[in-house]
């Protein structure tokens, strides 16, 4: 299949034409990758079971891993899911934005979209391209991240092209995304709101909104044999680069000492911050083996760059990749969750 790639530029009329064309593809059962404020999504008509099923084969995704449906307005949710007071609170505070609500589903959402569950994940993206595409399509858009299953989520169109060129109808190139980690997922169909995946809306913000918020174990810990995460997708070995990644839990001094003690430094990569570059070079690490998440204080930049750096690692043949273990505060919890999974929970202390 030939994949059409269309770039969104400064010409509003041209952009509208591109999105109208993409909406036609969605309406006729095709697959379109598009930018959102979190990561790029791979969209299909969510009320067309056949179209949604195509997503699974393009990504190589297990069929029991449900999809998020994307709608244009938080008020539209009633058509597809059972609304409750907690949803109203969440929507008022954070929608449109980087948050997904799990609610009891209505019958018009096919089981192929929810992986056989009786709940459905709903999100209202704030990105203008995503928003307009949903509006023009006139249907809810089921969209997982637009990567091959198991690879890091795409934060720019080049990543989508790497994984899905030739497998989908169209890619809308809207440049770099803003957040760079997938949305916060909150389960709202039970007694307590439960965080299933941390993201741009933080646990602290949810706590302030709801009072008590439970956190699914899979957010911070490796599950034991037989245990299941509440979000089926959290079960899979996600984001892992080809070379093993190990995380260091300790002071900066200990981290640099540890790196200095490594013998074959040309065979390793170090994921660090701008301010570390000189120290690491002095420790004997080559400049090309240092990948920076940005300024150490700029957590937003760390989130925005992580997936791109993990993809970068795959272009080289490193024996090992080292990084520090992030904090669990604020948006850093999302970073912690993604990187510890990418590292297969290997932590050196
Ligand atoms: O930011 C995002 O959420 C991006 C953009 C494209 O919107 N989408 C995204 O989708 O990250 P995906 O498919 O890569 O991740 C969706 C996660 C999976 O872990 C899946 O198991 C979980 O949401 N999920 C979907 N429906 C669910 C449900 N009914 N109950 C529990 N978890 C669900
Ligand atoms: Mg994904």
Judge whether residue 343 has pLDDT over 90. Answer: yes
Three-state DSSP string of the chain: CCCEEEECCCCHHHHHHHHHHHHHHHHCCCCEEECCCCCCEEEEECCCHHHHHHHHHHHCCCCCCCCEEECCCHHHHHHCECCCHHHHHHHHHHCCCCEEEEEEECCCCCHHHHCCCCEEEEECCCCHHHHHHHHHHCCCEECCECCCCCCCCCCCHHHHHHHHCCCCCEEEECCCCCCCCCCEEEECCCCCCEEEECCCCCHHHHHHHHCCCEECHHHCCCCCCCCCCCCHHHHCCCCCCCCCEEEECCCHHHHHHHHHCCCCHHHEEEEECHHHHHHHHHCCCCHHHEEECCCCCCHHHHHHHHHHHHHHHCCCCCCEEEEECCCCCCCHHHHHHHHHHHCCCCEEC
pLDDT at residue 235, as a whole number: 78
Q: Count other C-beta atoms under 10 Å from residue 220's C-beta.
A: 14
Could you give the CA distance from residue 232 to residue 158 in angstroms, rounded to a whole number? Answer: 27
pLDDT, tens digit (0-9, with 9 covering 90-100), for 283-338: 999 999 999 999 999 999 999 999 999 999 999 999 999 999 999 999 999 999 99
Judge whether residue 216 has pLDDT over 90. Answer: yes
Q: Which atom of ligand 1 is nearest to the CA of 182?
A: 1
Average pLDDT value over all residues in the chain: 96
CB–CB of 148/59 below 8 Å?
yes
**Measured CA distances, 127 to 13, 152, 331 (Å):** 18, 20, 19
Cis ω before 80 (30° cut-off from 0)? no
Could you give the CA distance from residue 268 to residue 246 in angstroms, rounded to a whole number? Answer: 11
**Closest residue to atom 29 of ligand 1, CA basis:** 120
Best CA proximity match to 123, nearest among 77, 58, 192:
77
Would you mind telling me the total number of residues written for the chain in this entry? 349
Judge whether residue 265 has pLDDT over 90. Answer: yes
pLDDT, tens digit (0-9, with 9 covering 90-100), for 93-123: 999 999 999 999 999 999 999 999 999 999 9
Share of the chain above pLDDT 70, in %: 99
Choice from 119, 185, 238, 331 to test ligand 1 binding pocket (greatest atom count within 8 A of CB): 185
Query: How far does the centroid of ligand 1 lie from the alpha carbon of residue 260, in Å?
Result: 40
The encoded tokens of residue 168 equal: 């989908």
Judge whether residue 238 has pLDDT over 80. Answer: no
The phi and psi torsions of 324 (rounded to 5 degrees) equal -85, 155
Tell me, using a 6 A CB cutoff, whether residue 184 lines ligand 1.
no
CB–CB of 215/194 below 8 Å?
yes
pLDDT at residue 256, as a whole number: 97
Query: How far does the centroid of ligand 1 lie from the alpha carbon of residue 86, in Å?
Result: 19
- Confidence tier at 225 by pLDDT (50, 70, 90): confident
- Confidence tier at 189 by pLDDT (50, 70, 90): very high
Strand order in the sheet with 4-7: 4-7, 170-173, 32-34, 41-45, 141-142, 68-70, 119-123, 99-104, 184-187, 194-197, 214-215
- Confidence tier at 233 by pLDDT (50, 70, 90): confident
**Predicted TM-score of the model (pTM):** 0.97
Share of the chain above pLDDT 90, in %: 95
Q: Which atom of ligand 1 is nearest to the CA of 183?
A: 1
Tell me, using a 6 A CB cutoff, whether residue 65 lines ligand 1.
yes
């Amino acid at each position: 299949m030939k994949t059409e790639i269309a770039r969104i530029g400064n010409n509003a009329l041209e952009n509208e034409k591109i999105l109208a064309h993409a909406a036609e593809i969605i309406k006729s059962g095709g697959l379109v990758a598009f930018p959102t404020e979190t990561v790029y999504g791979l969209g299909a008509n969510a009320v067309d079971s056949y179209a949604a099923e195509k997503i699974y084969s393009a990504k190589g995704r297990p069929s029991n891993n449900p999809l998020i449906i994307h709608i244009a307005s938080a008020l539209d949710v009633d058509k597809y899911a059972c609304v409750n007071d907690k949803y109203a609170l969440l929507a008022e505070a954070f929608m449109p934005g980087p948050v997904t609500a799990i609610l009891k589903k209505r019958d018009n959402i096919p089981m192929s979209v929810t992986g056989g569950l009786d709940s459905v994940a709903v999100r209202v993206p704030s990105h203008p391209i995503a928003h307009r595409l949903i509006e023009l399509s006139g249907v809810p858009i089921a969209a997982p991240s637009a990567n091959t299953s198991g690879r890091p989520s795409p934060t720019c169109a080049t990543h989508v092209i790497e994984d899905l060129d030739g497998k989908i109808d169209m890619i809308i190139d809207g440049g770099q995304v803003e957040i760079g980690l997938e949305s916060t997922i909150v389960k709202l169909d039970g007694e307590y709101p439960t965080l299933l995946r941390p993201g741009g809306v933080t646990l602290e913000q949810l706590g302030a909104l709801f009072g008590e918020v439970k956190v699914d174990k899979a957010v911070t810990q490796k599950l034991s044999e037989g245990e299941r995460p509440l979000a089926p997708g959290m079960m899979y070995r996600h984001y892992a680069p080809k070379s093993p990644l190990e995380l260091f839990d300790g002071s900066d001094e200990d981290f640099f000492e540890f790196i200095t003690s490594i013998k074959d430094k040309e065979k390793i990569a170090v994921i660090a911050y701008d301010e570390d570059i000189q120290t690491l070079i002095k420790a004997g690490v080559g400049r090309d083996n240092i990948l920076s998440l940005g300024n150490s204080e700029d957590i937003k930049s760390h989130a925005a760059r992580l997936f791109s750096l993990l993809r970068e690692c795959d272009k080289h043949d490193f024996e090992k990749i080292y990084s520090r273990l992030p904090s669990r505060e604020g948006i850093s919890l999302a970073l912690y969750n993604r990187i510890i999974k990418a590292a297969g929970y290997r932590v050196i202390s």
